[in-house]
Amino acid sequence: MAQSTFSGTADTSGSAKSLIESDRVEGTAVYGADDSHIGTIKRLMIDKGSGQVAYAVMSFGGFLGLGEDTHTLPWGKLTYDTGLGGYRTDISSDQVKGAPSYARDENYDWRDRESERKLHDYYGVSPYWGL
């Protein structure tokens, strides 16, 4: 099992490349600390000003796209694990299910820093934009 720091950066140990195309991230599995599959990355949210990946929108549950839920995870909660071939996080599927959710089809205003701050507080990670 690869060592994980939950820094949100790619694991550059070994021969893995440090950059990856965004379309290759979409569909990648997300595993909890116990190696259980908790979801799949559906899309990335990128800060237009800095170019930094801010969030991964993760889907879980459902079958063939029906009945699935989506939740937004701060990118800093994910670390690529070459041994698993996916992203690892220190959160459980139950924590994800209880997290604030911002669906794409909702009229959510991503300029609302207070809502983003609540999401970061829930996951216990510093906001990507600093304080």
**Burial group, residue 15, by CB count within 10 angstroms (0-12, 13-18, 19+):** exposed
Residue 75, helix vs strand vs coil:
helix
The half-sphere exposure of 73 on its side-chain side, counting CA atoms within 13 A, is 34
Per-residue pLDDT of the chain (131 residues; tens, 9 = 90+): 333 334 444 444 444 567 888 888 999 999 998 889 999 999 999 988 889 999 999 887 766 656 678 888 999 999 999 998 999 999 888 888 788 776 555 666 667 788 888 888 999 998 888 75
pLDDT of residue 93: 81
pTM: 0.75
pLDDT of residue 114: 86
Distances (CA, A) of 90 to 23, 31, 35, 44: 24, 9, 10, 19
How many CB atoms within 10 Å of residue 77? 24
Q: Is 70 helix (H, G, I), strand (E, B) or coil?
A: strand
**Which three-class secondary structure state does DSSP give residue 122?**
helix
CATH number of 22-123: 2.30.30.240
What is the signed CA dihedral for 47, 61, 107, 110, rounded to 10 degrees?
Answer: -20
Domain ranges of the chain: 22-123
DSSP 9: S
The conformation of residue 27, written as its DSSP 8-state character, comes to T
Nearest to 9 by CA among 82, 100, 118, 66: 82
